[in-house]
Amino acid sequence: MAHTYEYPRPALTVDCVVFGFDGEGLQVLLIRRGVEPFLGTWALPGGFVHMEEDLEDAARRELREETSLSDVFLEQLRTFGTPGRDPRGRVVSVAFYALVRPEQHPAKGDTDASEAAWFSATALPPLAFDHREILEAALDRLRGKIRYQPVGFELLPKRFTLSQFQALYEAILGRPLDKRNFRKKLLAFDFLIPLDEFSEGSHRPARLHRFDRRKYDALVRKGFHFEI
């Protein structure tokens, strides 16, 4: 049975902030819009939610359609609904964010995205809608999250140096960290396994490590306090 509503209903969209790490800095996946409004402007992947669609399903569909990205862990960020945020009308967006390895997810535009590309989080182009605000909110969430949950498994290669791990945290926080203090606190959590392998191509090869997935997952579930 159809219902008649007294009040107009806003349109609902999803937007996705996808973070990656290239070994030196934090990256963000953007698409160039192929349709109006903001034709040709860079934006976060996203789009309208179908009437019978779950929010996370909509976010995954839009990521797949606009960037070919699939099989990633998504976490809901928050809702953005300031009137006037979308020139098409009253549009409310539910934002999600994801952590991936860029080398495993090359950017590829599709459907209403004429192009997709990875950008440095410190050198972003002008963004459509209120997507800069959404991105900053996701970055704030990530900066808070690294203090109570590990995030390296999603962003670092399978084998990595402690310097790479520190570079990741410095990229997220946007500031340098004391090397000795960082390593002391990091190793105390005991979720890294040192390998009998060393990095190549540097003046002083560094030992490689990998995650102990069982201990890593336990810390994800119960959390920890990483004061950095």
What residues form DSSP beta bridges with 47? 14
Q: For residue 102, what is the DSSP state?
A: G
Contact 80, 123 (CB under 8 A): no
- Digit-by-digit pLDDT tens for the chain (228 residues) are 566 778 888 999 999 999 999 988 999 999 999 889 999 999 999 999 999 999 999 999 999 999 989 889 899 999 999 999 999 999 999 999 999 998 888 877 766 677 999 999 999 999 999 999 999 999 999 999 999 999 899 999 999 999 999 999 999 999 999 999 999 999 999 999 999 999 887 678 899 999 999 999 999 899 888 887
3-state secondary structure 3-65: CCCCCCCCEEEEEEEEEEECCCCEEEEEEEECCCCCCCCEECCEEECCCCCCHHHHHHHHHHH
Contact 93, 43 (CB under 8 A): no
Query: What pTM was computed for the model?
Result: 0.92
Catalytic residue among 56, 65, 75, 115: 115
From CA 123, how far away is CA 173, in angstroms rounded? 15
Tokens at residue 77, please?
């960020």
For residues 224, 21, 141, 121, the Cα torsion angle rounded to the nearest 10 degrees is 150
Q: Is 200 a catalytic residue?
A: no
- Domains in the chain, ordered, with CATH? 11-145 (3.90.79.10), 152-222 (1.10.10.10)
Contact 96, 59 (CB under 8 A): yes
Total number of residues shown for the chain: 228
